[in-house]
Each structure stands twice: as structure tokens, then as C-alpha cells.
Structure 1
Amino acid sequence: MSDKHIFIFGAGYSGKAFAGANAQPGNAIVGTTRSPDKFEALRQADIAPMLFDGALSAEIGAALRKTTHLVISIAPDEAGDPVLNAARDVITAHMPALEWIGYLSTVGVYGDHGGAWVDETAACRPVSKRSVIRVAAEQEWLNLGGSIGRPVAVLRLSGIYGPGRNTLVNLENGTARRLVKPDQVFNRIHCDDIAGALWQLIGGNTGGIFNVTDDLPAPPQDVVTYAAALMGIEPPAEIPFVAAQLSPMARSFYGENKRVGNAAIKAAGYRFRFSDYRAAFDHMWASGGWRDGEPRSPMKRS
């Protein structure tokens, strides 16, 4: 198995989990951040840090020339995809070693399906402006891959959680709420399973569209109740959705109701570490790792 040179645009929470699951010491991982203050955290995660603020530096250009696997984890905005805006020509003509592109997207592209099941063949009916922009960005990356003859994997992620970012933490710090909207469900995904799915697709240079999401779409209030039971505390009182004080973005999430299937990533050979939030919470609570703000995989090298 040859060593890989992986470049991550936007090496945040998921990117650090991905690097933590690197099982091959010869792989080199470079990742960008917008702030030099985050360089040390990336180094601690075995990611060589580089600054990306929308413009390519000579250092980034040199790293891209050696890159075999490119991962994009930066959201587009009204100006378009910032990586494509800055690096389209470089990706097209100056990345001779490139074998594969992975784009981290969101299940928000499906929009509202009234609680019905959706898979990768479902129509994208985005509700929010940010999801409309996401659909366009996905297509741009797929088109770019087609134009240069490289596989592109679009990973549509559901709500991300893991060490330091979960309902157990929210209950401890007093920010957890049990909002109840009848028949509302959400899917979720543990950061370790984002990492695992990425490595699975990289291993086979596999392209396509993949929902990377758990097996159990569930009402959000059930997640809070389960976490509180693990902690041996009373859950917060239920709050009717209509009476809840929410930011416009938070409220918009409740305007989309669907159950997201994950058969395609399983067909690609991936087996989930945490099939649902209960398995993940059980593990995090038993291991004591739920408070840890930096995700670490058991595969992490010592």
C-alpha cells in the first residue's frame, strides 16, 4: 500500500478526527486553517498546518503539487466555493499526482421530505439559501472531477458530534434543551465515522455521492433524554417548538424533516463504528472521552 499525500482545505473538527484515524505512518497530511492560533492544535493532530484565507500561498501551491488525495471541508458562501475560486486552475493543471477528491457536504441539500426516507437518488429540494449554495458547489466539484478524469466523492454529512461536542457536554454545562416538534427527526454522525468513511473511500479511490449518516433518525428530545439517563440526572423540561427562542439558523434546521439512508457507503465497504447515538453515547460515557475537545481515534499512533 503506497503512502498518500493528503491535503485538507479546512482542517477543523472532522479533519482532526480523520488525521487521528490515520493507520499508515507513511501518509502525510497537510491541512489549512484561517488562523495561525490553530497551528499548534493541528500539529498535535499530526496535520502540517498552512494558512488559507481565500488566496493560495506558494507553500500551499507546492504542497498541492505533491498531493494524491484532496479533501475539501470548507463551506461555500454567496461568492461561491472558496477553494474552487482560489485553486481551480491549480487543481486542473498543476496537480500531477492527484488521484482522488473528497468533498464534505451536508444532508441539508435534500431539503424537506416530510419525514420520508431519502437516499442518494432523492431529489435535492434545498430549503435554506446555504443549502442551495451547497447543491451548486457539489455539482461544481463533480464537474471538475469529470473534466480532469479524477473520481470525486461527495460525502453528505448529517449532524456532527463526538468528543467535546455532544449532548452529554451540553447537559453538563446547562445548555441542553428538549425541544419538541411533533414528528420531527434528525440523523446524526459521529466524527469517527466521518473519518472512517473518508479512509474507506480514499483506500479505493472511490467516487460518487454518499450519505454519511447513522442508522437511527430520531427526535432530538429523545437524544437529550437518553444522555441524561446515562448521566443519572433529570433531563431538562420539554419546550414546545412553537414557544422556543431560536436563532434563524437553528429554526431553519427544523424546517427540514427527513430520514436519511446510508446504504451507498455501506455498499462501498464501510462498516460504521457507531450505528446510532445510543451506541456512541454508551461508548463515550463508559470511556470518559465525552468531554475531550479534540477527537482521538483508538487507531491514533502513540
Structure 2
Amino acid sequence: MLVLGLGYSGQAVARRLLAQGVEVAGTVRDPAAHRGDALLRHRLAADHPLDPPLLDMVARAEAVLCTIPPDADGDPALRQLRDALASSTSLRWAGYLSSTAVYASRDGGWIDEASLADGTTPSALQRLHAERQWQALASERGIDSAVFRLPGLYGRGRNALVQLAAGRARHVVRAGLVFNRLHVEDLADVVMAALQHPQPAGLYLPADDEPAPPQEVLAYAAQLGGYALPAQQQWDDPAVSPSLRRFYEGNKRIDSRRTRAMLQWQPRFPSYREGLQDAWEQGDGRR
């Protein structure tokens, strides 16, 4: 497996694959900045030529998973590696981590795999463009593929406990707003399940069981860690940054029953409570 983008989600998937005895390598902008684990990292940067070891891994990889955010022209990693991937005789599966941002707000209503991807924001259009590029490559090659449209990811090291401990938590409220989440270890399980149940043009919406208001999650984390809640702000307060305000514009619930049935998967962390409890037990948010 070649994981394009060994960030938070990419590392979780790569560690799971390594634990299963799979040969894994990944890409980062600067391999010298990452040390201390067993993951093999290759440089992939727009301003750097493709290194022979990376091209060798592309030629040998039976599966590739891209976690890198898109830009205005789609997937930047695929632009650099498309020729090498298209000519590989080993490749059997391609996966892409996308986002539920491809769906417009449903005012708290439900979406599933059959819902129209009708988002019109720049980020939605970029995600859809990148999805289609990966699907086109898979179709051209005649291989299986998977697009994972993900809600907000969290887990150990990246959660409301960490934000509270660092003084970075924001108590932003929008009446009626709810959204799902997905623990990063559940994401790793989902990717493993998709590899074990490959299909052409697979589309998955993995999510937890409990779409919840963000202030409810923050309050639970504050209770766990013994922190005072930050001052409350309304989401349309001018003091809230435009980027954070955009985050609170999407209001939808995810029905992941079809994804669970297709992949024979159930989340280990069915709500934010189990996920935050696990993070707290592992030391996140400790003073």
C-alpha cells in the first residue's frame, strides 16, 4: 500500500496496515522532519522532482490511498503521479479520502450514499473534482476504487480535550446545528474493510451513531478534564473568523447504514463520548 499524505488520517491507516503485515510506504513534503516510527516516507512536493525510490514504490504498490486535500485543479498528488500510476502493472485498488462537504446543508436533515452531492462551495467543488479524477484513473485501469466521504475526524491527540488543555477551544453555538464525527481508528477499520470487500467505484459514508451539537461535545470534554467552558459565542458573531463560520454553515446528519452493510463494519466508537473517554484514559487533556 502507498499512502499519499502521511498526516493524521494517513498515519492511522498506515499503522493499521503495518500491524496486519502489509508493506506500507507513504509520502510527505519533507521526510527529514519525521522520525521515530517504522513508517517509510518518500518526498512528494510540487517543487521537487519525483525520487526513484518513490517511483519504484508506485510501480510495486497493489493499492494506493490518497489523503491529501485538493486544490483548484483537483488532486495535486495525482497530478504528479498519474502517469506512473496509469502505467503500473501492480495496481489493483485506489482509494480517496473525501469529505461530506460535497453535500449542501440539509438544515439538520439526513444524507446517505444515494444523496445528491450538491455542494457549491469552492471546497465542495474541489473535492468532487478530485473524486472524479481518481474514479477516472480506476475506470481507465479497470481496477476497484473507493471514495470515502468523511465527517469531522478526531481521536487521540486531536480532540476537544487537547484544545481545552491548550487554551484553543472555541465555544461557538448555532441553534439547531448537529453533525456526525468519525474516530480516526474507525476510519482505519473502514479502509481495511474496503480493501477486504473491493468493488468498482465504491462510495462510503462512514460515521458515528450520534450527530450532536459541537457545544455538547465541548461540554463533555470539559467535564472529563475538569476545565471551565470558554465564553460562548454565536456562530455569526463578527469576532468568529470567516473560515470558522463556514465550518458551522453545514448542518446535516449522516445515515451510514448502507456503508456498514456493504463493508460489514460497525464503529468501535459509536459516539463522541467513547472517543473522548478513550483519549482521556490515554492522557489527552491532562494538566
Asked if 1 retains the 8 angstrom alpha-carbon contact of 2:74 and 2:127, the reply is: no
**C-alpha separation in 2, matches of 1:123 and 1:37:** 42
Partner residue of 1:80? 74
Q: Distance in 2 between matches of 1:243 and 1:284?
A: 31
CA contact 2:156–2:282 (8 Å) conserved in 1 = no
* 1:269 aligned residue (256, 264, 270): 264
Distance in 2, matches of 1:229 and 1:172, equals 12
Unaligned runs of 5+ in 2: none
**Structure with bigger RCO (C-alpha 8 Å, 6+ apart):** 1
Query: Structure 1 residue 284: deviation in Å?
Result: 1.9
1:278 and 2:273 correspond = yes
Alignment-derived partner of residue 105 in structure 1: 98
For residues 247 and 110 of structure 1, do their structure 2 counterparts lie closer, same or farther at Cα, with a shift above 3 Å needed? same
Tell me the matched-pair count: 282
Matches within 5 A, 1:199-278: 199-207=192-200, 208-243=202-237, 245-267=239-261, 268-278=263-273
One-letter amino acid of the counterpart of residue 204, structure 1: H
Q: In the alignment, which residue of structure 2 is the partner of 1:177?
A: 170
Q: Does 1:123 align with 2:116?
A: yes
- How far off its partner does 1:63 sit? 0.7
Q: What secondary structure is seen at the aligned counterpart in 2 of 1:11? A: coil
Contact 1:76–1:133 (CA under 8 A) maintained in structure 2: yes
Instruction: Work out the CA distance in 2 between the residues paired with 1:88 and 1:109.
Output: 23
Shift of 1:120: 1.2
Offset, 1:252 = 1.1
Q: Post-superposition shift, 1:244?
A: 5.5
SS state at 2:205 partner:
strand
The answer (yes or no) to whether the contact 1:162–1:290 under 8 Å persists in 2 is: no
Output the amino acid matched with 2:159: N
User: 1:247, CA displacement in angstroms?
Assistant: 2.7
Once residues 195 and 77 of structure 2 are traced to their aligned partners in structure 1, the CA distance between those partners, rounded to angstroms, is 20
Q: Return the letter of the residue paired with 1:18.
A: V
Instruction: Return the alpha-carbon distance in structure 2 between the equivalents of residues 171 and 241 of structure 1.
Output: 19
Measured in 2, the distance between the counterparts of 1:177 and 1:162 equals 18
**C-alpha RMSD over aligned residues:** 1.8
Match of residue 34 from structure 2: 39
TM-score of the pair, normalised by structure 2: 0.92
Q: CA deviation at 1:24?
A: 4.8
User: TM-score, length-normalised on structure 1?
Assistant: 0.88
- Is 2:140 the counterpart of 1:144? no
Contact 1:7–1:69, Cα closer than 8 Å, also in 2? yes
The alpha-carbon deviation at position 190 of structure 1 amounts to: 1.1
Amino acid at match of 1:133: Q
CA distance in 2, matches of 1:220, 1:279: 15
| SS at structure 2 position matched to 1:186 | coil
Match of 2:85 in 1: 91
State the match for 1:51 in structure 2.
43
Which of residues 22, 25, 41 in structure 2 aligns to 1:27? Answer: 22
**For the residues of structure 2 that align with 1:233 and 1:290, how far apart are their CA atoms?**
13
Query: Per the alignment, in what secondary structure is the counterpart of residue 140 of structure 2?
Result: helix
Counterpart Cα distance in 2 of 1:170 and 1:12: 18
* Residue matched to 2:183: 190
- Contact 2:164/2:285, CA 8 A, preserved across alignment: no
SS of 1:65's equivalent in the other structure is helix
Amino acid corresponding to residue 40 of structure 2 in structure 1: A
